Amino acid sequence: MILITGGTGYIGSHTCIELINAGYEVVIFDNFSNSSKESLRRVEKIVNKSIPFIEGDIRSKNDLQKVFDTYTIDSVIHFAGLKAVGESVGNPLKYYDNNVSGTVTLCSVMKENSCKSIIFSSSATVYGDPHSVPIKEDFPLSATNPYGRSKLIIEEILRDIYVSDNSWKIVLLRYFNPIGAHISGSIGEDPNGIPNNLMPFITQTAVGKLKHLNIFGDDYDTHDGTGVRDYIHVVDLAQGHLKALNKLKDFKEVMTFNLGTGIGYSVKDMINSFESVSKKKINAKIAPRRAGDIAKCYADSSYAKEILGWEAKKDINDMCKDSWRWQSINPNGYKN
């Protein structure tokens, strides 16, 4: 059985569907700090079966031990973590406590229960402000904000665990910018409060939930002055986890993979594409740059293609179309 921490969250919920459809049995562990019980109900409806679930906090040894007492866990896919760059700058201790301490607790409980197989949800933020693009896995690592640094610290912790005991199977997946939603439109990204990520900001503006979209900075060194990112469909990303899980047992070292499309789109590119597929005009305003943001970030994912046989299949129009379907059907997210 596969333990999915943070399995009711945006990426976790989509990954559960891909794993179950591929024949894996999963148990979800989550505390709903940035997710909803409704997302679990809808995932169960999509896969047409009940999914084992234990509510708990990643920092609680007792909560985690309940999972291992109840189920035989073969591998862990570790999504649970706080992920807002801006919040991390304002409250770094919260991020180190939840993301770093939580992972240490998880790995300790795994070790005590002889489960030594983990896929970690890392991030392109571990590359800091890259010296060039596209970004390869062997680029220098650094961080421009505490969120990214928490991911970097966890990667180092996992490497140290492997050095101490190389019977561990560890994969680090560095995501670029997940957007989109399940084709059914019944699950998608539903952030608490004002969104931190671009696409929910666009879709919530389109649906009238927000009055306007803030474009944080238009003076970056990019083709139109707005930040350039590698946006990847969440279902492609979920498929990346499935491919990594299928190969996990074969790896003889800590494996690291970028998961992105290899294409950089600016904020304005994304707005234009969204307006084209949705036929909605987005009211956008220029705002000051955000602390910790960088100009350009997009992936070279050729290593994932070579080793995992994975590559992103969905394009920018698919991403915008699926994001809009989710938001238009669920203008208030899971609170409908």
Just list the catalytic residues. 147
Under 8 Å between Cβ of 322 and 233: yes
Return d(Cα 29, Cα 55) in angstroms, integer. 6
Return d(Cα 327, Cα 331) in angstroms, integer. 5
DSSP symbols for 86-143: HHHHH-HHHHIIIIIIHHHHHHHHHHHTT--EEEEEEEGGGB-S-SSSSBPTTS--B-
Nearest to 236 by CA among 256, 255, 262: 262
Would strands 228-229 and 265-266 be described as parallel, antiparallel, or unpaired? antiparallel
Q: Which residues sit opposite 214 in a β-bridge?
A: 285
φ and ψ at 311, to 5 degrees? -155, 155
Q: Which two tokens stand for residue 83?
A: 């992920």
- Integer-rounded Cα Rg, in Å, for the chain is 19
Query: Burial of 144 by CB count in 10 Å (0-12 exposed, 13-18 middle, 19+ buried)?
Result: middle
Could you give the 3-state DSSP secondary structure of residue 259? strand
What is the torsional sign of CA 195, 145, 227, 173?
Answer: negative
Under 8 Å between Cβ of 276 and 323: no
For residue 97, give the DSSP letter: I
